[in-house]
Amino acid sequence: MASRMAVMPIDRAGTRHPQAEACARCAVRSQSLFGALDEAGLDRIHTRIEGLDMAPDETLYARGGDGSALYTIRTGVVRFERSTARGDRRIVRLAGRGDLIGLEALLQRPHADDAIACTPLQLCRIPRVLLDELGQDEAALTRALMQRWQDALDQSEAWVADLATGPARRRVLRLLLRLTELTEPGQPIWLPRREDIGAMLDMAIESASRFVSQLRREGLLSITGPRSARVDRVALLQAIEAQDRS
Amino acid sequence: MASRMAVMPIDRAGTRHPQAEACARCAVRSQSLFGALDEAGLDRIHTRIEGLDMAPDETLYARGGDGSALYTIRTGVVRFERSTARGDRRIVRLAGRGDLIGLEALLQRPHADDAIACTPLQLCRIPRVLLDELGQDEAALTRALMQRWQDALDQSEAWVADLATGPARRRVLRLLLRLTELTEPGQPIWLPRREDIGAMLDMAIESASRFVSQLRREGLLSITGPRSARVDRVALLQAIEAQDRS
DNA sequence: CGAGCCGTTGAGGGGATTCAAGCTCAGTGG
DNA sequence: CCACTGAGCTTGAATCCCCTCAACGGCTCG
């Protein structure tokens, strides 16, 4: 018995590995990739998952790079950018808490977009080979992965329908709605720079500024700091409805 | 030996099942879902796959419906629509030859979009339960499914970057480029009704008409019938480049 | 042949862009 | 201490692109 203990990793003697603790306590676990795994399953993988933080505007990965890892977002917002044939960039999707990003790495494909931190991030880095190994026998994991893919597809199609459709004011309103979904209820939202709003909604930064200011005057939006604001969710939904009726 | 033959399905005695022949000869098989399966694998599944045809504007499935099947497109073009909060509809993606659509059925989720035939279609209908069973042991199939999901995601993000960005003329040009990709080289492309172009590119039908006519006068596009046209691919690429430079 | 759908084209107006100026704020150095 | 600078944001004015409204032609079909 004592000898069995002796061959275990030194940091497992008595207490669990710190990352195992982190995974077990992780608040996003139920909605995250390994939610389907039990404690034993977690113990098998935790040593190879690495928690890391990133600052706003840092790049997780670049388009074209062949990634060796995926990331689960524990807190924060990530944007996916592509640069068009002209020099200008276009933001095609946002991801937030609980989302698994960089899925194309599992298929040995190069990354389709630049992935860039919008807010300070807390991430879990999951090596691709880890999922390759688990994928052999964990049907639940396979299913969870497919759900992630479908979630991303849903988001992308909703982006076309909601954020790339209609007059500029409508698009700004729907962007604010999406931003509230990426934030804990009651918390201030991440408010993008005007240039980023332009890259999301395909409008000039002056237009973005005009509508943000307009909504501020209407009392629907109040800015609480740089890159931070509060929205009156009820008024926002009313405004969207009014916009769609007219 | 003879007794073994006797217990086989009656239509397998001597010749193979007609659908088995169809699957084995299928030109899109190499790029389709079951490309990874060998002849024996095909034999196991072919009786439950049903070939079917659809006419333009027929609906494969509707948003909200919980699908019992997926479809492989053998020939033709399918569009995915959502209706926005206002009554108007928005086409968010196109699919063509070799694409597998309705993936969300595998997750017991309701369909995210309406799927509607643009051209005459030849489809293979794949029951959901069939993939559930195969999924148990076919790792190659799992991988193929994930690739389908990533393909769809790529298409959707490219839609945002290419077809929902920039001035109207640019969007029409890029739509034509996308339509050539959905057609065999040399064949005339499917040219949508002006109203559909509007729903794809978020523009008025008059604007769609104006740019189509403009491109026709420029010799870049020639209409060969209703819903059918030929494009000068070289001129098209030049026009896109010129558009992006200005 | 009239009705209806689809496509085309023109005229006018409105919304978004472009061009331009001025503002706040943080960082820098005289 | 304060001018200087540059980045980000805001606002105004002029322009232009696209939408709306409208009229018309071709075509199919009852």
What does each of the 246 residues of chain A score in pLDDT, given as a tens digit?
A: 444 443 444 444 446 677 777 777 777 776 667 776 777 777 778 778 889 999 999 999 999 999 999 999 999 999 999 987 677 899 999 999 999 999 999 999 999 999 999 999 999 999 999 988 887 777 888 889 999 999 999 999 999 999 999 999 999 999 999 999 999 999 999 999 999 999 999 999 999 999 999 999 999 999 999 999 999 999 999 999 999 987
Contacts of A208 (CB under 8 A, 6+ apart): A172, A194, A195, A197, A198, A201
Angle between helix A194-201 and A168-181 (nearest 10): 110
| Nearest Cβ partner for A145 among B109, B146, B241 | B146
CB B34, CB B45: distance < 8 Å: yes
The residue among B146 and B31 whose pLDDT is bigger is B146
Percentage of chain B with pLDDT > 70?
A: 91
Nearest residue in chain B measured CA to CA from A90: B161
CATH class of B165-245: mainly alpha
CB B89, CB B199: distance < 8 Å: yes
Query: Is the minimum distance from the CB of B203 to strand D below 7 Å?
Result: yes
B9-32 burial, b for 16+ CB within 10 Å, e for fewer? eeeeeeebeebbebbeebebbeeb
Question: Nucleotide D21: nearest residue by CA–C1'?
Answer: B206
CB B197, CB B203: distance < 8 Å: yes
Q: How far apart are the C-alpha atoms of A75 and A53, rounded to whole Å?
A: 10
Q: How many CB atoms lie within 10 A of CB B4?
A: 7
Query: Is the minimum distance from the CB of B205 to strand C below 7 Å?
Result: yes
pLDDT at residue number B157: 97
Average pLDDT, chain B: 89
**Gap from B10 CA to chain A (nearest CA, Å):** 36
Contacts of B93 in chain A (CB under 8 A): 157, 160
Could you give the C-alpha distances from A124 to A72, A143, A147, A220, in angstroms and in order? 5, 20, 18, 35
In the block, tokens 């309406």 appear at B114
- Residue B161 to residue A106, Cβ atoms within 8 A: no
pLDDT at residue number B121: 96
Q: How far apart are the C-alpha atoms of B221 and B179, rounded to whole Å?
A: 12
Parse chain B into domains and list their residue ranges.
2-162, 165-245
Homologous superfamily of A2-156: Jelly Rolls (2.60.120.10)
* Adjacent-strand bridge partners of A115: A61, A80
Least confident of B29-33, B85-89, B168-172, B180-184: B29-33
| Nearest Cβ partner for B157 among A92, A103, A109 | A92
pLDDT at residue number A4: 43
Protein-to-nucleotide distance from the CA of A168 to the C1' of C26, whole angstroms: 32
Q: How far apart are the C-alpha atoms of B43 and B40, rounded to whole Å?
A: 5
User: Which of the nucleotides lies closest to A227 (Cα–C1')?
Assistant: D8
pLDDT at residue number A227: 97
Residues B8-38 pLDDT 10s: 444 444 466 777 777 777 777 766 678 767 7
* Secondary structure class of B216 (helix, strand, coil): helix
pLDDT at residue number A42: 76
Cα first-last separation, chain B: 75
**Gap from A108 CA to chain B (nearest CA, Å):** 10
| Nearest Cβ partner for B150 among A104, A113, A154 | A104
DSSP assignments along chain A, one per residue: -HHHHHHS-GGGSSSPPHHHHHHHH-TTGGGSGGGGS-HHHHHHHGGG-EEEEE-TT-EEE-TT---SEEEEEEES-EEEEEE-SSS-EEEEEEE-TT-EE-GGGGGTPPPSSEEEESS-EEEEEEEHHHHHHHHTT-HHHHHHHHHHHHHHHHHHHHIIIIISSS-HHHHHHHHHHHHHHTS-TTSPEE---HHHHHHHHT--HHHHHHHHHHHHHTTSEEEEETTEEEE-HHHHHHHHHHHHH-
Homologous superfamily of B2-162: Jelly Rolls (2.60.120.10)
Query: Is the minimum distance from the CB of B164 to strand D below 7 Å?
Result: no
Q: How far apart are the C-alpha atoms of A160 and A224, rounded to whole Å?
A: 29
- Residue A156 to residue B157, Cβ atoms within 8 A: yes
Protein-to-nucleotide distance from the CA of B175 to the C1' of D29, whole angstroms: 32
Chain B interface with A: residues with Cβ < 8 Å: 80, 82, 84-86, 90, 92-93, 103-104, 106-107, 109, 112-113, 135-136, 139, 142-143, 145-147, 149-150, 152-154, 156-157, 159-162, 164-166, 202, 240-241, 244-245
Nearest residue in chain B measured CA to CA from A147: B107
Query: Is the minimum distance from the CB of B169 to strand D below 7 Å?
Result: yes
